[in-house]
Amino acid sequence: MSEPLLRATNLVKEFPVLGTGGLVRPPQRFRAVDDVSFEIRAGETLALVGESGSGKSTTARLAARLLDVTSGTVELDGEDVTTLKRSALNRFRSEVQVVFQDPFSSLNPRHTVERIVTAPLVYQGRPVPGGARAFTRSLMERVGLDPDHSQKYPAQFSGGQAQRIGIARALAVGPRVVVCDEAVSALDVSVQAQVINLLRDLQREEGLTYLFIAHDLAVVRQIATRVAVMTQGQIVEEGDRDAVFGAPSHEYTRKLLDAVPRIRPEWERQRRANAARASEVQFGAQA
C-alpha cells in the first residue's frame, strides 16, 4: 500500500459561542470537529457523509486550509501543512482545490469565464500557460463546456454548466486533490448525473484524488471509494464503500441508511427488464 496523499490527524475545531463570556471570563466554546482523523490515497475518493451540523463541511475546510485548526495536523504527501503561510500556502493551494455547493454564489457574476478560471493562477502570481484565451478554451473542453463561451458571464449558464465552471476553476492550478463540498447537491437529478460522470472521468483520466462531502448517500454510493460517517463532530464509522453500505457496523450509520427513501428494488428490476425487452423488439423490427 502506498503512503496516503492527504492525512488528517486528530483534527479539532472550536468556535466561540456568541453572547457568552465577558471582559475576564472567556466565551464558551463549541466543538464543531472533535478529534477527526482520516487518510486519502492518491486516486481515491473519500466521502465524508453526515447530516447538517455533523461537522463534515468544517472538516473539509480544515483539510483544505480554508479554516485554521484548533489542534491537530494536516499533511500533504507527508509534509505538515497545518500552519503554512503566504508563498508556502500558495504552493499548497495549487495542490488542493475546492468545489463548492452553489455554483452561482461561488462565481463572481461580473467576471467572464476566462477571468474566473484564470484567477487562481493570477492570485498565486503564476503565469497562465499558453495565454489566457487558449488556456481557458482547453480547460472548458476538459469539463465539457463549449470553449467558444469563454467570454460569457456565469448568469448566462445553467446550474450544471456553472458547476462545470467551478470545476474548471479548481482544475486551473493543476491540483492533485479536489475537495468537493456538496458539489452536486444543488443540481437537478439529470444534471447531477452528468456532473458525477464528469468527476469520475476526470479521476480516471487524470488520477485526481477527491475528498467528497455529501449528505446524499445515494450520490456517495456512486462516487466513493471509501466512506466516513460523521455525526456530532466525530467519525463514527469508516470503511470501504461496499462494506459501509452493505454491512454498516455503527448504529448511526444504520439509522441513516434506513432513512433514505428508495425506489423499490423489484420495480427497478422490472423496469430494466422491460427496457431491455423493448430495445430488443425495436432492434428486431429494424433488422
For other proteins, give the closer residue by CB, 75 or 216. 216
Q: How far is the CB of 192 from other proteins (least distance, A)?
A: 7
* Block residue for cell numbers 429494424: 286
Q: Considering the rule CB under 8 A, would residue 264 count as an interface residue with other proteins?
A: yes
3-state SS track over the chain = CCCCCEEEEEEEEEEECCCCCCCCCCCCEEEEEEEEEEEECCCCEEEEECCCCCCHHHHHHHHCCCCCCCEEEEEECCEECCCCCHHHHHHHHCCEEEECCCCCCCCCCCCCHHHHHHHHHHHCCCCCCCCHHHHHHHHHHHCCCCHHHCCCCHHHCCHHHHHHHHHHHHHCCCCCEEEEECCCCCCCHHHHHHHHHHHHHHHHHHCCEEEEEECCHHHHHHHCCEEEEEECCEEEEEEEHHHHHHCCCCHHHHHHHHHCCCCCHHHHHHHHHHHHHHHHHHHHHHC
- All 3 cell numbers of residue 276? 431491455
User: With CB under 8 A as the contact rule, which of the stretches 23-31, 124-132, 134-142, 182-190 interacts with other proteins?
Assistant: 182-190
Q: Considering the rule CB under 8 A, would residue 276 count as an interface residue with other proteins?
A: no
Q: How far is the CB of 77 from other proteins (least distance, A)?
A: 29
Q: Considering the rule CB under 8 A, would residue 51 count as an interface residue with other proteins?
A: yes
| Contact letters for other proteins, residues 239-258 (x by CB under 8 A) | ------x---------xxxx
Q: Considering the rule CB under 8 A, would residue 148 count as an interface residue with other proteins?
A: no
For other proteins, give the closer residue by CB, 15 or 245. 245
259, 283, 286, 287: residue in contact with other proteins (rule CB under 8 A): 259
Q: Considering the rule CB under 8 A, would residue 270 count as an interface residue with other proteins?
A: yes
For other proteins, give the closer residue by CB, 79 or 188. 188
Q: Considering the rule CB under 8 A, would residue 286 count as an interface residue with other proteins?
A: no
267, 283, 284, 287: residue in contact with other proteins (rule CB under 8 A): 267
Q: How far is the CB of 259 from other proteins (least distance, A)?
A: 4
**Residues 100-139 within binding reach of other proteins (CB under 8 A):** none
Amino acid at 287: A
159, 173, 234, 250: residue in contact with other proteins (rule CB under 8 A): 159
| The total number of residues written for the chain in this structure | 287
Q: How far is the CB of 188 from other proteins (least distance, A)?
A: 4
* Cα 238 from chain centroid (whole Å): 17
Contact in structure between 201 and 207 (CB atoms under 8 Å): no
Q: Considering the rule CB under 8 A, would residue 222 count as an interface residue with other proteins?
A: yes
Q: Considering the rule CB under 8 A, would residue 68 count as an interface residue with other proteins?
A: no
72, 215, 234, 250: residue in contact with other proteins (rule CB under 8 A): 215
Q: How far apart are CA 93 and CA 217, in angstroms?
A: 29
| Residues at the site binding other proteins, with contacts judged by CB under 8 A | 51-52, 159, 188-194, 196-197, 215-219, 221-222, 245, 255-265, 267-268, 270-271, 274-275
